[in-house]
Amino acid sequence: MAVADVVISFVVVVGIYAILSYGLTLKYGHTGLLDFGHVGFFLVGAYVSVFFVLPPDDPGDFTAYVAGLADVPVVGNWLVGIVVATVVAGVIGGLVALPTIRLREDYLAITVLGVSVIFQRFVQAETWFANGPDALRGYSPPLKGNFPLLLNSELTLPVVGATVPATPTLFAVTAAVVWAVALAVLGGERDPATRLPASSLYFAGSFGAAAGDLGRGRVAAVGGIVAGTLSGGVLLLADAILPAGVVVSLFVWAVVLVVVSARVDRLGRREWLAGIGLGTGLLVALLPIPYAGSVAVKIAGTLALLTALVGGFYRAVRTREWFAAGKLRIIGAGSLWFVSVWYFVLPLVGPLAGGDLSGALRTLFANLIWALAFGGDVGVDYLVTGLGRLTVRVDYQRFLLAGVLLFMLGAYYLLELTARSPFGRVLRAVRNDEDVVRSLGKDPFVYKVQSMVLGSALGGFAGALWAMYTQGLTFVTFAPRVTFIALLIVFIGGASNNKGTILGAAVFWAFQQATIQLASFFPPALRVNVLAFRLAAMGVLFLVVLYYLPDGVLGRADYSTPIADGTTAAGPRDGVPARADGGDDE
Amino acid sequence: MAPTIGLPNAMLTGLVTGSIISLGAIGLALVYDIAEVPNFAHGDLLTLGAYAALLVNKPGSVPLFDVFATGPRAVGTAGAGIVFLLSTAGVLGSVYHLGGVRALKGSWWGIDAPPTVGLGVHAAVAVLVGALVVAGLPSYPAALLFAVVLLGAIVPLTESLVYRKFREKGVELAMMLVVSLAMAFVIRFSIQTVFGGDIRFYEVETTVPVAGRSVDFTFAKFVDFSIAGDGVTATVLETRGGETTQLLALGYGWLEVVALLVVASAVAVAGYRWRRGSAAVVGPRLAAALGSAAVLLIGGAVLSGGADVPSDPLVSTRLRTSPLRVGIVCIALAMMGLLHYLLRATTLGKAMRATSDNRDLAMIRGINTRRVMMVVWIIAGMFAAVAGVLLGFLFSNITINLGFFLLLPMFAGVILGGISVYGAILGSYVVGLAMEVAIFAVPGLSATYRVPVAFVVLLLVLLIKPEGITGGS
């Protein structure tokens, strides 16, 4: 599997967990409700949505569940499933909140944790409800049957009933969403401190829409729709899935470059060097794991090198002022370096060592053109000069990626709107001091219940996406550990910082992914220990974040409202969020 | 025909469950109340205790340590030396937590003892404990002792290395909950990093000679109670290999029963009146309970006449339990008694109660609240070790989730009782009884619902009294 595929499934999981954590960001970050039972609503969302897409239960087979509505017209599809799952999770969140929300915060946390355990045990014990302790399977994610995209399949539109060629339509949808998301991100960087032609890229990417007086969201929508239509048209007329994929991929890389360089240009040369040193040091420290022969050398070597690295970092923070001032940015630069090497260079080591130059080029090309999956038996064949024969296809993961990205940004946008609305201001006031809120004539109870409803609904929404992603549910998945992970994600980025939640989810899952890969270099008998070590390390990481970065990596977001004469910072312009302070800690 | 197992049996099981919960809940409540940490890691301290005992009980199965083992349950001189060192370090470490080197010289005794005496006494106790553990190697009691002294030193470290730092930053209680959640992860998965995923169990000699024959105290015994026209009988039976033997039969006529009950109630009332208004170790309620229990026990033993089991009793019921389970109830009661004595009869206990009531006031009055807090953590660690090692034996499998499964009922008990030691004991028994009785009494409620039942009880109580049963005075 190419590294690009790993990254894509990684981003899907990050997106789902970011949405799940957004529920907690709203509950804890904005309202101050410590909901230790957040996983309960994740569970509710997952199971409720699945009942809408399962076929009716066959009493003769080994699985049993309470309802399967897939055959019911209009109702039996994912769209309805997700909406109902979100609503039900929200309603249950409100019902849980009614009796518990008046409790002291620690009582509240433990009581709602108990509620989530009750949900989990209910699923486990009641075999008639959702197959009890065994996995609930037998449903497939939406449109899965059309993937990988080939040029001869057909798709029946759900409501209209018309039949359209599947590949151009689905590719157009995927491309439109990816394009729009990239454009929206780029829109936030319109006048960054970068030497790259960001504005022309924005203008070109939006097909001229950026020239008008449209807001960022509309520009993104227009650009996405045009890009989607164009790519769909190209696919309909010509057998051109590879060129279309190349354009989409390269556009996204260009946006990534602009975003990265906007951050990087703020760094001085010595910060850069320190970051590269840090990233390379991490790379070197991990070398004993794949290459050392004996397990003892793997463990001792890596631990010794990591200790040296962390020690060196700590020493530099204590002795060099510039290093201490920019330590988070140095870590950022180091991670960027590490990830780039891992993504582009490391996959080439194998083919190059074997003297297979064209193989190395093919790998590089596959990782660069991430929008397409390469290799395998199924797909469209191309003969490219210098690379040889390429089999390309669009697999389901990429379609899912587009969907999850859209939903994640949608959740982000909604949360930003909420945080900046009068309602959000009251929520923050409830978090800071309930008596003040009460004295101003607002009932904190009402606002807390509303926050629980909305946060739980987000959790349920994430649950439905999770059900879609995993294609099977067991009660074990919904252990209290998930709440812990969501809390960690919320705290890494900054409890009340909406951007921070995405960063937190990415950091957490990057750590998860990296340690799983590293664990595969150990003998199977030791893997349990290695994976346990990583969870212990996660606990330590959590403590470090809580102690040294109580406001998270990105710090507190500034939601101050502009006052009429404009004395405070510029406020939101048609929903465009003001930038968080970017983690500067001076 | 054997009598059916009924509600009384569920209540007895509930009593056992309540005792198990309370063993952990006492430490949790102490820490919650005095150190103000709602310690999510407490369950994992039980797990830590259970695994620590393996070092003595089955040294051959402990990774890294097994190089010193000469067999599955035997260690060489070096291994014994390490166990000895760890035990002595545990004792001295616990004392060290009470105030550094000065504490080792006896500063915490409250009397002016010469430093050499203090050092000498502490060293002697440490060596004695170490010698006891090594001499008892690899028996279960030695393992228990080892785990207790080790956790007495390790658990306060979590306070001085983590919780105190956060407290000094002035974080809120809810944040402390999150911190302890992270601590729980660190502890649980550090254990798993070392021990891996295998299920472990202790090796314990379970047959003891009683009255000329050997009795296995983990085997189930049956106690049949029957009420017939002429009185009450109780028989103790043991079933082994399809063969039922009667171990004991006690019979009482109606006159004896009535007399016993009357005397017991009279003693209870007398004891209550005797101690009314007293704040001593034996308060009015304790005096009443102890008095009537003593009367029932002694009277029951004296008046019992051998009896035949009535063939057609009016009411009969069967209890199923094992001496081990009864023993766990007794151990829990004994530890509660110890703690009660410590809290009521010693200066340290008074300081603890004062700190619990109002830490700032206690500090102004010259109480070393930091030392009080360390004492609390040491006690919590020791109780957790006892609970963990007992649980590992009772369930006869030790897994990484041993303590975590018990954490939620413990929290339910502690909050139910309004976060105080006595409340936690009461709350634990309420939760334990509710869990077992509900599963017995409600049809269709499987054992999976134990923890949910605990939380339903908690929710119901909090709905009526948001501060818990005994809280909010």
Reported as a single tens digit per residue, the pLDDT across B436-452 is 999 888 887 888 888 88
The verdict on residue B215 lying in a domain is no
Q: What is the pLDDT of residue A581?
A: 42
Q: At what angle do helices B42-57 and B140-158 cross, to 10 degrees?
A: 140
Query: For B25-37, what is the mean pLDDT?
Result: 91
Q: What is the mean pLDDT of residues A160-176?
A: 80
Predicted confidence at residue A584, as pLDDT, reads 38
> What is the model's pLDDT at position A149?
67
Residue A376 has pLDDT above 80, yes or no: no
Q: CB atoms < 10 A from the CB of A291, how many?
A: 11
Inside any domain, residue B445: yes
pLDDT (tens digit per residue) in B251-304: 888 888 888 899 999 999 998 888 887 777 788 888 888 889 998 888 888 887
Return the pLDDT at A82: 94
How far is Cα A485 from Cα A464, in angstroms, rounded to an integer?
18
Contacting residues of A for B39, CB less than 8 Å apart:
none
pLDDT at A388 over 90: no
Number of structural domains found in chain B: 2
Count CA within 13 A, CB hemisphere, residue A64. 12
Which residue would you say has higher pLDDT here, A34 or B108?
A34
Is residue A562 scored above 70 in pLDDT? no
Q: Tell me, what's the pLDDT at A565? A: 56
Mutating which of A27, A98, A111, A481 best tests the B interface, going by the most B Cβ atoms within 10 A? A111
In this prediction, residue A350 carries a pLDDT of 84
Q: What percent of chain A has pLDDT over 70?
A: 92
What is the pLDDT at residue A73? 80
Q: Do B452 and A100 touch (CB under 8 A)?
A: no
- The answer to whether residues B53 and B150 belong to one domain is yes
- Residue showing tokens 């409830």: A430
Q: Which residue of B178, B448, B454 is in closest CB contact with A487?
A: B178
Residue ending a domain, among B296, B321, B346, is B321
Domain encompassing residue B264: 220-321
pLDDT in tens, B62-121: 888 888 888 778 888 888 899 999 999 999 999 999 888 888 888 888 778 888 888 999
pLDDT higher for A310 or A190?
A310
Test B454 with A539 for CB contact under 8 angstroms.
Answer: no
Closest residue in B to A524 (Cα) is B196
Domain boundary among B301, B321, B341: B321
Compare CB distances from A536 to B179, B190, B451 and report the shortest one's residue: B190
Closest CA in chain A for residue B186: A536
A482 has pLDDT over 50? yes
pLDDT over 50 at A569, yes or no = no
- ipTM of the complex model: 0.87
- pLDDT cut 70: percent of chain B above it: 97
Least-confidence region, from A242-251, A573-582, B150-159, B461-470? A573-582
B233 beta partners: B226, B251
Q: How far apart are CA B28 and CA B43, in angstroms?
A: 9
Whether residue B309 sits in one domain with residue B186 = no
- CATH number assigned to the domain comprising residue B381: 1.10.3470
Percentages (nearest 5) of helix, strand, coil residues in chain B: 65, 10, 20
A-to-B residue pairs, Cβ atoms closer than 8 angstroms: 127
CB A461 within 8 A of CB A86: yes
Q: How far apart are CA B178 and CA B374, in angstroms?
A: 21
Residues B265 and B279 in one domain: yes
Residue A572 has pLDDT above 60, yes or no: no
Backbone angles phi, psi at B234, to 5 degrees: -135, 130
Does position A192 have pLDDT exceeding 70, yes or no? no
pLDDT at A570 over 80: no
Nearest CA to A65 among A156, A19, A128?
A: A128
Average pLDDT of span A371-394: 78
Partners of B463 on chain A (C-beta within 8 Å) are 99
What pLDDT is attached to residue A576? Answer: 42
pLDDT in tens, A543-558: 998 998 888 888 887 7
Interface of A with B (CB under 8 A): 34, 36, 99-100, 102-107, 109-111, 113-115, 117-118, 121-122, 124-125, 484, 487-488, 491, 525-526, 528-530, 532-533, 535-536, 538-540, 542-543, 546-547, 550
Locate the chain B residue with the closest alpha carbon to A28: B174
State the nearest Cα–Cα gap between A346 and chain B, in angstroms. 29
User: What mean pLDDT, rounded, does chain A reach?
Assistant: 85
Q: Which residues are CB-neighbours of A456 under 8 A, at least 6 positions away?
A: A23, A38, A41, A44, A89, A90, A92, A93, A94, A96
Is B97 a domain residue? no
Is residue A571 pLDDT above 60, yes or no? no
pLDDT at A373: 83
Amino acid A295 reads: V
Strands A388-393 and A373-374: antiparallel
Of B299, B321, B343, the domain-final residue: B321
Mean pLDDT lowest among A297-306, A565-574, B71-80, B166-175: A565-574
CA gap B471, A574 in Å, rounded: 51
Would you say residue A568 has pLDDT above 70? no
Residue B383, pLDDT above cutoff 90:
yes
Whether residues B301 and B401 share a domain: the answer is no
Taking any CB pair shorter than 8 Å as contact, residues of chain B touching chain A are: 38, 162, 165-166, 169, 171-175, 177-179, 181-186, 188-190, 192-194, 196-197, 400, 408, 411-412, 415, 446, 448-449, 451-452, 454-456, 458-459, 462-463, 466
Q: Is the pLDDT of residue A357 over 80?
A: yes
Q: Are A486 and A456 in contact (CB under 8 A)?
A: no
Measured N-to-C along each axis, helices A480-493 and A3-24 cross at an angle, to the nearest 10 degrees, of 90
Contact A106 B174 (CB under 8 A): yes
- Distance between B354 CA and the closest CA of chain A, angstroms: 23
- How confident is the prediction for chain B on average, in pLDDT? 87
Residue A148 in this model has a pLDDT that exceeds 80? no
Q: What pLDDT is recorded for position A312?
A: 92
**SS3 sequence of B376-440:** HHHHHHHHHHHHHHHHHHHHCCECCCCCHHHHHHHHHHHHHCCCCHHHHHHHHHHHHHHHHHHHH
Higher pLDDT, B472 or A498: A498
Could you tell me the pLDDT band of residue B426, with boundaries at 50, 70 and 90?
very high
Is residue B1 over pLDDT 70?
no
In a domain, B11, yes or no: yes
Q: Which residues of B touch A109 (CB under 8 A)?
A: 38, 174, 177
- Cβ–Cβ gap A125/B448 under 8 Å: yes
Alpha carbons within 13 angstroms on the beta-carbon side of residue A300 total 5
Domain range list for chain A: 15-142+414-548, 148-264
Q: Is the pLDDT of residue A585 over 50?
A: no
Give A76-113 pLDDT, tens digit per residue: 888 999 999 999 999 999 999 998 888 888 889 989 99
Instruction: Please answer whether residues A186 and A259 qualify as being in contact, where contact means their C-beta atoms are separated by less than 8 angstroms.
Output: yes
One domain, residues B184 and B226: no
